[in-house]
Structure 1
């Protein structure tokens, strides 16, 4: 089965889509087979990279089938090894449909175990910036989750009271007999400004969750830089846009460090290296039996 990473936050505008797209682009460049699923009603991930084949169906067919994706749900981007299930769920229609299902938390988890997805090493699920049944289903499908948090008071406060509260709510279900718990939640400090206030808030986040059993803060910090927006405008992965290897905080180096932290077996391997086994890489909190 693929390693499944869901990008979750109860606040919009924190960079979930940008991080998901750029991480997927880098892992695909490593030679891993990547599937991105746009589970946001605002289909930003669906439009992030150019698509050379658009499938006749998208996310709606995956969900309303009860988690039984078919090959005609999968589109192909122009980048080798990077496929897409696009969002075709404007408004609250799919959320309302899920509200009527007793198995709503299990639908995307079930889809991740479909034979159609066996060819993929990594599945990345982008979600909306709010609490909803689709986001909860994506959280329960993941081996681990990533929540970008900007180091400002509003974003940090919403993460603590919103995203973590959602995680706790989902895991309380296991205390009442549900046969599953969510994966770990990894905090990615994103768009970090070079200010004392940003550094102080980042330090508070690390201290607050240092002993949390399900939440941890990644060592990698993504700085605020124009390259990320410029790469999105150019519709290319940011590691291809900003290739300044000599600069510690260039997008090339930051994205490689993020991939290395998530997948330690990749440590110190750069895109373009040969003779490296890349498929079937365990990540944080991913049990060995979940690794292809």
Structure 2
């Protein structure tokens, strides 16, 4: 170990975004966070969606979500108990509370409204211990999603294997490019994830072919299948990796976590600061 090089590294911030709902965005955010935490990384998931499904999926009741994402955006601070533990020791959550629904409007008159999340993530020491921060964005391209994109180094785009799936992706790509030009030159596409993939359905294969032909290496090798365990897990307040670790859905998200570790060149804890 080269102790002089073992300085704290800045967290990698990744947004999980798609302006279309029902594409497996929150499922991906929750289970990717769990997969990376299960691999030994300190991971934080921030629920940016007023619907709060990621918070539900990690077992946080609606009555216990005070001091969450709204406070982070509007006040630039965290309440003492805002970093909530989950069923996985390495995974923490900042929950979406009931006030977050109003933040989209309340942010409009604020100065540097697009940079509120980035400023908080940069300034608050509570975020320094995390190796990866995942942002579960709401559907749509409003100020909550914009704050997430401005704060992020990369964007993961879940793409449902359904008819019309590729429509709308171009709008998101234009948004990512606009954010890169105006607010965040370091923003890039981390990858497109094919979700709800059904090998028995020829349409899934056609969507996969179209996506890979059009986007090439931007499409993750991993695909996430339709899997009943993935659908059941949120009702138990657990990631599928905890609920049924041997299920096809859990294994696919484990594979996705490993693929992202490679693509993003994320060092494991025992590799940080090592020589050679």
Per the alignment, do residues 150 and 63 of structure 1 end up closer, same or farther by CA in structure 2, a change over 3 Å counting? same
Gaps of at least 5 residues in structure 1 are: 268-276, 283-287
Partner residue of 1:258 out of 232, 248, 256:
256
Mapping for residues 218-257 of structure 1, pairs under 5 Å = 218-244=220-246, 250-257=248-255
| Secondary structure of 1:221 counterpart | strand
| Mapped contact 1:14–1:190 kept (Cα < 8 A) | yes
Deviates more, 1:195-204 or 1:76-85: 76-85
| Secondary structure of 2:164 counterpart | helix
Per the alignment, do residues 228 and 199 of structure 1 end up closer, same or farther by CA in structure 2, a change over 3 Å counting? same
| Mapped contact 1:51–1:78 kept (Cα < 8 A) | no
| Deviation (angstroms), 1:92 | 4.5
| Secondary structure of 1:9 counterpart | coil
Mapping for residues 100-111 of structure 1, pairs under 5 Å = 100-111=109-120
**Greater share of residues in helix:** 2
| Mapped contact 1:25–1:82 kept (Cα < 8 A) | yes
- State TM-score, norm by structure 2: 0.83
- State TM-score, norm by structure 1: 0.79
Paired residues in the alignment total 260
The answer to whether the aligner puts 1:85 opposite 2:94 as a matched pair is yes
Partner residue of 1:126 out of 131, 136, 158:
136
| Mapped contact 1:140–1:183 kept (Cα < 8 A) | no
Q: Deviation string for 1:21-72 (max 9, x for gaps)?
A: 111122222332221111001110111122499464111111112x444544
Partner residue of 1:186 out of 186, 191, 197:
191
**Which residue of the partner structure matches residue 103 of structure 2?**
94
| Secondary structure of 1:258 counterpart | helix
Partner residue of 1:144 out of 154, 158, 166:
154
| Deviation (angstroms), 1:144 | 1.2
The answer to whether the aligner puts 1:7 opposite 2:16 as a matched pair is yes
Per the alignment, do residues 54 and 78 of structure 1 end up closer, same or farther by CA in structure 2, a change over 3 Å counting? farther
| Deviation (angstroms), 1:95 | 0.6
| Deviation (angstroms), 1:223 | 1.1
**Which residue of the partner structure matches residue 207 of structure 2?**
201
Partner residue of 1:58 out of 63, 68, 88:
68
Alpha-carbon distance in structure 2 between the residues aligned to 1:47 and 1:233: 8
**Which residue of the partner structure matches residue 171 of structure 1?**
180
| Mapped contact 2:70–2:100 kept (Cα < 8 A) | no
| Secondary structure of 2:167 counterpart | helix
| Deviation (angstroms), 1:133 | 0.7
| Mapped contact 2:65–2:97 kept (Cα < 8 A) | no
**Which residue of the partner structure matches residue 279 of structure 1?**
269
Per the alignment, do residues 197 and 15 of structure 1 end up closer, same or farther by CA in structure 2, a change over 3 Å counting? same
**Which residue of the partner structure matches residue 3 of structure 2?**
none
| Mapped contact 1:146–1:188 kept (Cα < 8 A) | yes
**Which residue of the partner structure matches residue 27 of structure 1?**
36
